[in-house]
Amino acid sequence: MDKPNIFKYATKELSQDAFIFWLLDHANPKYMHVNQDLKNCALSLISEFFKLENKEMPEKFENFSLSKQYKNIDILLKINEFSIIIEDKTGTKAHGDQLTRYKNIIASEVGEENVLAIFFKTHDQSNYKKEINDGFKIFSRNKLIAVLDNFEDVSSDIFNDFKDYIKSIENEVNAFAVKEKWNNKNWIGFFKYLQQDLKRGDWGYVSNPNGGFMGYWWAFQRNEFCLQYLQIQQDDLVLKINSNKAENDKKFRDICYKHYLNKAKQEGLSFEKPARFGKGETMTILTTKYLVKNKETGLVNIDQTIARLREYTQFIEKHALTADEFLG
């Protein structure tokens, strides 16, 4: 049944912090008789944290405490000798050295072997290289849904609203295959699918004076003078270059444009000159439409679209200009 959901209005990280804190507190021994379902769900969630760190969760909680914003850490859960750092994010990423700093602070208090560091992310990001390098384990939306789905008919509007809200995000991200017009979440779903297929590339929102777009960039061809790569700008696929020196911008742009346009014609690819080249360090050289749509339904044919993108990937890899060709 469709009904108002508090978490559709309270979308900030602080609201999510509050829910996680509230749910985890049901594992506190002093609340063991308040709500059995919520207690078991909290224990299941904590168990998943321990599994991520390849540690065994204590069978009995002798000591249990929860703290908010201790040393700026979103949530700090202490169980017996263990301290669990939970850095909670919705649509933002970790920044600077905050994760390393948090882990070092707690390790200095309880010993590194007793620290569990969890990056709790309910929305999506292109990769988690930084978080993993900083020593954190990723607890994704899929993992959270897997925990919550084990608990049906829970007597709690707060729990059920949050569960419905998180699942609505997942459903919207995955709806790209059944929607004619895509919003940002649908683009994220498509980019995640594409990323799994190509096994490379990154994606994100690109802001610009015209309002910005959801983009995906990959197939980087590097030499000492110029970077050449492909970028999806929602409905458009573009071939871009990045010259290392401003004085080379126009020269390299002209070299790349003539080279790639000629090769595209030879191979029957639909690359064409953009409406304008523009100026700057990063420039669009060629552009094309790439989405393959069903004429009757207007839906994107995902498999055919990805097959087309593979063709363009092979094209730039095959014809990438070398450093010597920029000197000619």
What are the pLDDT digits (tens) for 101-112? 999 999 999 999
pTM: predicted TM-score of the whole model, two decimal places: 0.93
Give CA–CA dist 80/64, Å, rounded: 7
Give the pLDDT band of residue 279 (cuts 50, 70, 90).
confident
Question: Which two tokens mark 278?
Answer: 């523009």
Q: How many CB atoms lie within 10 A of CB 92?
A: 10
pLDDT at 280: 74
Say whether pLDDT at 247 is over 70.
no
**Of residues 172 and 253, more confidently modeled:** 172
Q: Which residues of 20-58 are buried (b: 16+ CB within 10 A; e: fewer)?
A: bbbbbbbbbeeeeeebebbbebbeebbebbbebbeeebe
Residue with tokens 């809200």: 165
pLDDT at 129 over 60: yes
Q: What is the predicted pLDDT for the residue at 135?
A: 97
Count other Cβ atoms within 10 Å, centred on residue 245.
11
Q: What tokens does 267 get?
A: 């191979």
Q: Phi/psi at 308 (nearest 5 deg)?
A: -65, -40
Q: So what's the pLDDT on residue 1? A: 57
pLDDT at position 29 is 97
pLDDT band, residue 328 (cuts 50/70/90)? low
